[in-house]
Amino acid sequence: MTFQQPEYQMPSNGFDNPYPIRSRHVRRWWVFLLVFLPCILASQTYIFLQPAIYQSMATVLTMAKTDIDQASPSADIQHVRIQKQILLGPAVLDKTVEHLQNMLTNNRNWSQDELKSMFEVIPEPNTNLVRLQAEGVDPKLLQRAVNAWIDSYLTLRTSAIADSTDKVTLELQDQLKRIEQQLTDKRREVDQFRLQHDILSTESADNQAHARLQGLNKSLNDALTDEVKTKARLDSVLDAISRNQVVVPEADGNTMAVLVQQAEKLRDQLAGLEAQYTKEYIQLNPRLRKVREQLIELETKITEKSSTGKDFARQEAENNYAAARQAVQTIKKQMQDHKQLAADYTSQFAVHQALQQELLKLETLQQDTKQRLVDIDVKQREKYPQVDVVDWASLPDKPIRPNYLQQALLALGLSLFLALLAVLIIDYLNREPETFAAPMNLGGIHLHHQPQAMLDVAQQQPQVGYQPLKSLPLQDIPRELNPAEVLALFEVAEPPMQAIISLIMNGLSLAEILSLTPDCLNLDTLMILIPGKRNVLMTATVAECLNNGHVFDKLPNPDDINTLLCCAAIDSGLAQPEQISGDTLRFTYMLFLIRQGIKLADLTKIVGSLPPNQLIELGRYSPAESGLPLEKIDLDYLSHVSGSAGYAN
C-alpha cells in the first residue's frame, strides 16, 4: 500500500490572478482613488469657489444720552423692540433705497427686499443699544449701505418726532381749554352750594350749625355736672338732719360759725373762772356773772338758728336740685330739636367736601397739563430726537465666512472616510468562501468521514477562569459558633468577660477593646468612639453592661482574655473549647451580619478594615439578596439570639 497525496486545489480569488494577495491590494488602491479623488476635487472646488462674505456693523442708542447732572434711564426692552421693527419696516427701507440711489458712487439698482435680506438688527441685552449690521460680498458697499440706513432712520425719526410733538401740543392745548372751562364751572357750582346752605368755611367747626351743636353739648355737660352736685348737696343735708346735726343755709353759714366760735370762747372763759372762784362768788359778782349770761344768750341764739336753719337748708338744697334737673331737661330738648338740623348740615357739608375734592382734581390736572406743555417746549425733541449713533459703520478688513481652511480640512477628512468606507464595502462584497481541509489519507485510505470530535474544532472545552473564592486556603478559617453556643458562653462567663463578649459582638477587636477608655463609651448618644479609628453604634447589650456598672479601663491582655473565654467554654460544656477565642466570636459576628445581606463596604464600617482575601472569603456566605443598606441590618447579635431562644422555648 502506497501513500498518495490528496487532490487539493487552490480556491479561485475571482480574478483568475495567480497572485491573489497582490491583486487584492491593487484592487483596494483603485477603489480608494476612484472614490477619494473625485470627492476631494469636487469639495475643494466648491469650497474655494464660494465668495467671501463681509460684515459691516454700527451701534445706535435709541434713547439720547442724558446730561451730566441727570441720571441715566433704565433699559426699556419694549421700546428697543419697537425700534427694531421700525428699522426693518418698509418706510425706513424705502428711504434707504432712495438714499443709496442718490449716491453718485453707486452703479446699481437697489430694492427693499434686497436690503431686508442684507440688514439685521440685534438688540444688546438689558440696554437701549441696538447693533445694525449688514452682510455681503462688497465691503465698501456694505459700509455705505449701513450708514445710509442710519441716516434714513434718523431723518424719519426726526420727522416723526416733530409731527408727534405738534400733534401732542395741539391735543394738550385743547385739553387745557376744556379743563379750564370745567374748572370755572366747578368753582361756580361750589360757591353757589356754599351760599345756598350757609357754609361759611371749609372747616366744619366754623359754621353755625356745627358751632351751635358743640355749644349745646358743652351746656349739657355743665348742666349734668350741676345736677350731680346739687343732688349730692341735698343728700348730705338730709343725712345731717336725720342725725340731728347743725344744718344752716349756705348764706347763714358764716354767721353760725362766728356764734359757735364766740360760744366756745365764753365756755373757755367761764371754765377758767369756775376754776378760780366758787359758783356763789361768781353769782354775786356782776362782772363775772355777765360771762355766764352772755354764754346762755349765745347758746339760745345758736339753738334758734339751728332749729329754723334746717328747714331753710333743706328747702334751698331741694330748690337747687330741681333747678339743675330742669336745666338738663331743657338742654336735652333743645339738642333733640337741633339734631335734624345738624344731620342735614353734616350731609350738606359732605357734599361740599366732595365738590372741593373734584375741584382739587381739576386744578391738579390743569397743572399737570401745563407742565407737559412746558416740558415739550423746553426739551424740543423735534430738534434733539432721542437717538444717538454710538459707532458708525466701518470698512470691514476681513471676511467673516467661509473659513476656507476649516472647510477644506473637513472635506479632506470626509473624502478619506468615504474612500475607506468604499474599500471596506468592496472587500466585504468580494469576500472569498470558506474552504475545508482535504480529507486525510492514511495508506491510500481516504477518510472522508472523520469523527466529529476530530473535525469540529469549534467544540472545545471551555477554559477555567480564575476563581478567588476557590483559591483561598480553608484550613485557617476560624470556627463559627452556633447561637446556642454563644448564648451558653455569655451566660456562664463572669460579668467582666460578658462585657468583653458584648463588645466583640458589637464589631470590636480585642486590640480595640483594650484601647477603650470610659470617655469612649457614650450612653447619651449610644456611640462607641474607637480612638483614632471609627465610631460604632452601641448595641443594647453593651448599653446594659454599662448600666450594670462594668468598667473597661482595667482589662486583661489578649492572651488572658482568650484563656478566660476557653475556661468559660469548658464550664458551659461546649465542644472543642480550645478553638473558642476572640477571633472565633468576631468571625461568628461577621457571618451574622453577612447572612443578613449587609454590603461588604458597610461591614468594614462596623468591624473595621479587613484583608482583601478575608473579604472575598466572607463574600461566599452572602445571600442572593445582598447589598442591603446599613439601616436594615440588625447589629445586636446577643439580643437577637436571646429573643429567638425565648420564642423557641
Each residue of 349-378: pLDDT tens digit? 778 788 888 888 988 988 888 888 887 777
**For 133-160, what is the mean pLDDT?**
85
Cα 513 to Cα 529: distance, rounded to the nearest angstrom = 11
Look at the block and give the residue holding cell 339760745: 300
For the chain, what percent of residues have pLDDT higher than 90? 9
| Confidence tier at 200 by pLDDT (50, 70, 90) | low
Question: Residue 147: is its pLDDT beyond 70?
Answer: yes
Question: Residue 174: is its pLDDT beyond 70?
Answer: yes
For the chain, what percent of residues have pLDDT higher than 70? 76
Question: Residue 144: is its pLDDT beyond 60?
Answer: yes
User: By mean pLDDT, which of 21-30, 44-53, 346-355, 463-472 is the weakest?
Assistant: 463-472
| Confidence tier at 212 by pLDDT (50, 70, 90) | low
- List the Cα angle 63/66/69 in 5-degree steps: 165
Q: According to the model, what pLDDT value does residue 409 have?
A: 93
**For 306-333, what is the mean pLDDT?**
75
| 478-648, CATH topology level | hpI Integrase; Chain A (1.10.443)
Domain residue spans of the chain = 478-648
Cα 22 to Cα 309: distance, rounded to the nearest angstrom = 164
Q: According to the model, what pLDDT value does residue 465 have?
A: 40
- CA-closest candidate to residue 145, choices 181, 72, 92: 92
Cα 310 to Cα 321: distance, rounded to the nearest angstrom = 17
Question: Residue 198: is its pLDDT beyond 50?
Answer: yes
Cα 136 to Cα 98: distance, rounded to the nearest angstrom = 20
Q: Is the dihedral of CA 546, 552, 553, 555 positive or negative?
A: positive
| Confidence tier at 473 by pLDDT (50, 70, 90) | very low
Averaged pLDDT score across all residues of the chain: 77
Q: According to the model, what pLDDT value does residue 263 have?
A: 74
- CB neighbour class for 543 (10 Å; exposed up to 12, middle 13-18, buried from 19): middle
Q: According to the model, what pLDDT value does residue 416 have?
A: 93
Q: What is the pLDDT of residues 591-606, one digit of tens each?
A: 999 999 998 888 888 9
Q: According to the model, what pLDDT value does residue 356 have?
A: 85
| Confidence tier at 72 by pLDDT (50, 70, 90) | low
Q: Which of 222 and 313 is assigned the larger pLDDT?
A: 222
- CB neighbour class for 175 (10 Å; exposed up to 12, middle 13-18, buried from 19): middle
Cα 611 to Cα 17: distance, rounded to the nearest angstrom = 65
Q: What is the pLDDT of residues 542-577, one digit of tens each?
A: 888 888 876 666 667 888 888 888 988 898 888 888
Q: According to the model, what pLDDT value does residue 24 have?
A: 66
Q: According to the model, what pLDDT value does residue 22 have?
A: 59
Q: Are 25 and 43 in contact (CB under 8 A)?
A: no
Q: Which of 396 and 244 is assigned the larger pLDDT?
A: 396
- List the Cα angle 375/377/380 in 5-degree steps: 95
Cα 29 to Cα 47: distance, rounded to the nearest angstrom = 26
| Confidence tier at 3 by pLDDT (50, 70, 90) | very low
Q: Which of 214 and 437 is assigned the larger pLDDT?
A: 214
Alpha carbon 561 to chain centroid distance? 59
Q: Which of 18 and 211 is assigned the larger pLDDT?
A: 211
Q: What is the pLDDT of residues 581-638, one digit of tens each?
A: 889 999 999 999 999 999 888 888 899 888 888 888 888 888 888 888 888 888 989 8
DSSP track, 229-245: HHHHHHHHHHHHHHTT-
Question: Residue 414: is its pLDDT beyond 60?
Answer: yes
Question: Residue 18: is its pLDDT beyond 70?
Answer: no
| Confidence tier at 453 by pLDDT (50, 70, 90) | very low
Cα 264 to Cα 68: distance, rounded to the nearest angstrom = 100
**For 250-269, what is the mean pLDDT?**
71
Q: According to the model, what pLDDT value does residue 192 have?
A: 84
Name the most confidently modeled range: 96-100, 292-296, 457-461.
96-100
**For 21-48, what is the mean pLDDT?**
85
| Confidence tier at 307 by pLDDT (50, 70, 90) | low
- CA-closest candidate to residue 353, choices 205, 203, 209, 208: 203
Q: According to the model, what pLDDT value does residue 207 have?
A: 55
What is the strand order of the sheet 54-61 is part of? Answer: 119-123, 129-136, 54-61, 388-391
Q: According to the model, what pLDDT value does residue 552 have?
A: 61
Angle of helix 483-492 versus helix 637-648 axis, rounded to 10: 100
Quick one: cell of 331? 338742654
Q: According to the model, what pLDDT value does residue 383 have?
A: 52
Look at the block and give the residue holding cell 444688546: 124
Cα 264 to Cα 162: distance, rounded to the nearest angstrom = 111
Q: What is the pLDDT of residues 218-248, one digit of tens each?
A: 777 888 888 888 888 777 777 777 776 656 5
390 φ, ψ (degrees, to nearest 5): -75, -40
User: By mean pLDDT, which of 111-115, 336-340, 431-435 is the weakest?
Assistant: 431-435
Cα 437 to Cα 8: distance, rounded to the nearest angstrom = 9
- CB neighbour class for 155 (10 Å; exposed up to 12, middle 13-18, buried from 19): middle
Q: Which of 284 and 155 is assigned the larger pLDDT?
A: 155
| Confidence tier at 267 by pLDDT (50, 70, 90) | confident
Question: Residue 160: is its pLDDT beyond 90?
Answer: no
